[in-house]
């Protein structure tokens, strides 16, 4: 009989302002796109249920502000994340150059147990626009240098590869969560087994908004 235990995956979307983080999230969750840009203040999140390997999981997708003045809020939002999505605009080279700092800052603030193996996914957004300043080859090379993280070319406006990208994100997040729980179980002598440490990582109680 299948388990009814709910699995919650916490996903963080990072990148410079106006790269399309909010649009990607809205396209995936609501299948809607708006041409009107409105900067995210602090952070916001949407949830969506997906089925992975016959298991129903709830993705809690956090859309964070790209402006520097909000980056100090990062530690509150990043902790307990199961996957981090990095987004850049293929028509804006500076947003690509910022990826290293976003990735490094996330690892510092989130403090994952195994930072070298923490799952990231890169989305090259606005591929429907011209001229493109960043080639797929250059983006792929960056991903290879970062432990071969998955890479998708997306268009939030046209919905291109958005579903496929978030499915990969969910799978990577689930694998990370399962690995973390396995790590708990490998060292039973260091844990109080009466504690409820088996609850899904990044549960809803980690977010007090």
pLDDT digits 0-9 by tens, 16-34:
999 999 999 999 999 988 7
Question: pLDDT per residue over 34-66, tens digit each?
Answer: 776 666 655 678 999 999 888 899 999 998 776
CATH at residue 23:
3.40.50.300
- Token representation of residue 83: 């996957």
Alpha-carbon radius of gyration of the chain = 17
Which range among 35-49, 100-114, 119-133 shows the weakest confidence by mean pLDDT? 35-49
Tell me which residue has tokens 């990208």.
165
What is the extent of the structural domain holding 128? 7-187+198-206
Q: Does the residue 2 lie in any domain? A: no
Q: Does the residue 165 lie in any domain? A: yes
Q: Does the residue 193 lie in any domain? A: no
**What CA–CA distance (Å, rounded) separates 128 from 125?**
8
Task: Quote the pTM value.
Answer: 0.80
Structural domain count of the chain = 1
Three-state secondary-structure class, residue 118? coil
Q: What percent of the chain has pLDDT over 70?
A: 74
| Distance of alpha carbon 130 from the chain centroid | 26
What is the pLDDT at residue 84? 96
| pLDDT tops 50 at residue 184 | no
**What CA–CA distance (Å, rounded) separates 153 from 191?**
43
Beta-ladder partners of 120: 84
Q: Does the residue 192 lie in any domain? A: no
Q: Does the residue 26 lie in any domain? A: yes
């Amino acid at each position: 009989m299948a388990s009814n235990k709910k699995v919650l995956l916490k996903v963080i979307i990072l990148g410079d302002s106006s790269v399309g983080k909010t649009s990607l999230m809205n396209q995936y969750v609501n299948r809607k796109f708006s041409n009107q840009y409105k900067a995210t203040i602090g952070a916001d999140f949407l949830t969506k249920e997906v089925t992975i390997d016959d298991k129903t999981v709830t993705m809690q997708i956090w859309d964070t502000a790209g402006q520097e003045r909000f980056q100090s809020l990062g530690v509150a939002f990043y902790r307990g994340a199961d996957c981090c999505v990095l987004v850049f605009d293929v028509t804006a080279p500076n947003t690509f150059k910022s990826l290293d700092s976003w990735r490094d800052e996330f690892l510092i603030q989130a403090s994952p147990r195994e930072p070298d193996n923490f799952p990231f996914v890169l989305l090259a957004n606005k591929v429907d626009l011209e001229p493109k300043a960043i080639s797929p080859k250059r983006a792929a090379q960056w991903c290879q240098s970062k432990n071969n993280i998955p890479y998708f070319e997306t268009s939030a406006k046209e919905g291109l590869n958005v579903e496929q990208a978030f499915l990969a994100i969910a799978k990577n997040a689930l694998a990370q969560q399962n690995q973390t729980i396995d790590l708990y179980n490998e060292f039973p002598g260091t844990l109080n087994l009466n504690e409820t440490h088996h609850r899904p990582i990044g549960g809803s109680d980690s977010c007090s908004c």
